Structure 1
Amino acid sequence: FDLTSSSPLLPRTPAPQVLGWDTGPGNSLLDLAVQHFSGGTKTYDKDGVWAASGTPSHALVEGWLQQEFFHQQPPKSTGRELFGPDYLHQCLAEAEAENLSPADVLATLVELTATSIVHSYRNFLPQMPDQVLLCGGGSRNLYLKERLRSHLAPVEVLTTSEAGLNSDFKEAIAFAVLAYWRSCGIPGNLPEVTGAVTAVILGEIHHYPHSQA
């Protein structure tokens, strides 16, 4: 699971059905909140230490989870066009009404991310996964990882780096695979994930002539 975007989910079956969608804000609201509270001096909460020092408001999380996107059936996708600055300002206004400290707000946003992921698993997967692999910048947030483990227990929660694939190279590897598939004429999209009508070959190959000396 990429904490900055959607990732396919691969059940352990002989012919796996691939499912994928965005579950919600990922790490985006948390990063925006850190920038807000730090006056722009920080762009993320290293190791989740700041959020871990706060106390989440479960009442706010329950209210935020009523957002229509969380209940929309997959395939679906979102980003900062929904979970961006405007959405954060709404969250901050509600948190201010509850007299939450900055640390409490960050803890509450972490809880929203964790519970939105678990909500998606429980409502849209045919069964809970055996293992969850995290990647993206949010996978380094130890507090977020801890909250996911708590909500998903006994499901094993690891980072892709712990499973043998350095998360820093994940996108480079993915695009290399897509380029290889393009050269072989293999479709590179997943209609069940993107909502496309059919599988298609992605990208174009352009051959440039060698320059003459």
Structure 2
Amino acid sequence: MTRVIGLISGTSVDGIDAALVEISGSDLDLKIELLAGATYGYPTELREKILAVCAGSPLSMAELAALDDAIAFQFAQAALGIGSGHPPAELIGSHGQTVYHRPLGVKGEQPVTTLGYSLQLGRGEVIAEITGIKTISNFRVADIAAGGEGAPLVPKIDACLLRSSSHNRCIQNIGGISNVTYLPVSQGNWLEQVYGWDTGPGNALLDLAVEYFTNGSKTYDYNGEWAASGTPCEALVEQWLAQEFFKIPPPKSTGRELFSRDYLKQCLVESEAYNLAPADFLATLTELTVASIVESYRNFLPHMPDQVLLCGGGASNLYLKQRLQIRLDSVPVLTTDQVGLSRDFKEAIAFAVLAHWRNLGIPGNLPQVTGASEAVCLGNLYSPRSQHQSS
């Protein structure tokens, strides 16, 4: 048994999810037990700074370094908090905070590389120093160096923990951005038939719209209750689904760089022709998230799944879940809780597992998912200085 802490703050920037898990096994045979899970909010000023940077706000190199350290400090405090009252963890896997993600190559007149770029702040060496625990971070760069998108990285973990011998499953994570893992029935060469990609917006546009309509007094729509009081505009949904990203076949990934505040502003402009109330607009944005998920299944899966298992913050949005069930018709929409894996902390658990694999020298990516040329070990390893000094 190895005790590992997994840490992540997603594209919603709504806090650091921390999971303390016990892991047994090595590769596809691994088993996990969640010992503790909690979400640690960012200080308001730090969250606002992160969101500003994600939206393209310029900052100096000194400011970038300070932000990197400030995020690392918060991640370290989350690790110390989740580990409190338990036997010491042996390893931390920290995804960090994504502030920029550019899939596959430079867009412009003179591209200088065919490789993508992804930047996660929250230095692993700082986390290791503060906690005294060996830390693995910067998980995406090795996949990108192998020609991949650097995302999504969770499908191999989904394959280990959520595969079924009787059902083809889609594991649908709905964070700020939505991503899917398709798991075929675990027979024969099933692992080679696992697929995954980012399907489009999750909560990002919805949260931005709630902030806009409430002048910042609210940051999200609890249970989707405001959206549920409105009526979606199907004509607008169809118009928005014509956006190029939705038509690109996998491998593909995206982020706040596309589904941004500017994207929301354009959606608001396009909605003026329909004279929508705020509730109607929120219902329409919800429908975009739902429709983009279902259309990606229809366009890019070998066939529709037998089950859909939700996780992430969007799994708690009852209205979104209801709309997804309606669009999927007879395909049951469940949550990962219902098959024994926490929907709230699944992503944090995933980075604990990726750290475990990196520590053992086991590749963590699936090339057919990310587009990488090969399976590679993910993450940079940092040992506390105390370990260096005693060795």
| TM-score, normalisation: structure 1 | 0.95
Matches within 5 A, 1:29-178: 29-178=205-354
How far apart are 1:95 and its partner, in Å?
A: 1.2
Amino acid at match of 1:9: Y
3-state SS in 2 of match to 1:20: strand
Match of 1:11 among 184, 200, 203: 184
Q: Distance in 2 between matches of 1:163 and 1:140?
A: 16
3-state SS in 2 of match to 1:205: strand
Q: Distance in 1 between matches of 2:213 and 2:324?
A: 24
Return the index of the structure with the highest Cα Rg.
2
Q: Distance in 2 between matches of 1:119 and 1:155?
A: 14
How far apart are 1:86 and its partner, in Å?
A: 0.7
Match status 1:195 vs 2:368: no
3-state SS in 2 of match to 1:104: helix
Gaps of 5+ in 1: none
| Alignment correspondent of 1:24 | 200
Q: Distance in 1 between matches of 2:373 and 2:232?
A: 42
Gaps of 5+ in 2: 1-171
Greater alpha carbon shift after TM alignment, 197-206 vs 37-46 = 197-206
Amino acid at match of 2:316: R
3-state SS in 2 of match to 1:123: helix
> CA-atom RMSD, angstroms?
1.4
In structure 2, relative to structure 1, the CA distance for the partners of 1:80 and 1:204 (3 Å cut) is closer
Q: Distance in 1 between matches of 2:182 and 2:319?
A: 23
Q: Distance in 2 between matches of 1:168 and 1:3?
A: 10
Aligned length: 212
Deviations 1:42-65 (A, max 9, x none): 111101110010011100000000
Q: Distance in 1 between matches of 2:214 and 2:337?
A: 29
Amino acid at match of 2:174: L
Answer whether contact 2:180 2:199 (CA < 8 A) is retained: no
How far apart are 1:209 and its partner, in Å?
A: 4.3
Q: Distance in 2 between matches of 1:147 and 1:32?
A: 20
Amino acid at match of 1:159: T
Which has the larger strand fraction? 2
Q: Where do 4+ consecutive residues of structure 1 move more than 6 Å?
A: none
Match status 1:2 vs 2:173: yes
How far apart are 1:97 and its partner, in Å?
A: 2.3
How far apart are 1:132 and its partner, in Å?
A: 0.6
How far apart are 1:171 and its partner, in Å?
A: 2.1
How far apart are 1:172 and its partner, in Å?
A: 2.2
Q: Distance in 2 between matches of 1:115 and 1:171?
A: 23
Calculate percent identity across the aligned residue pairs: 66
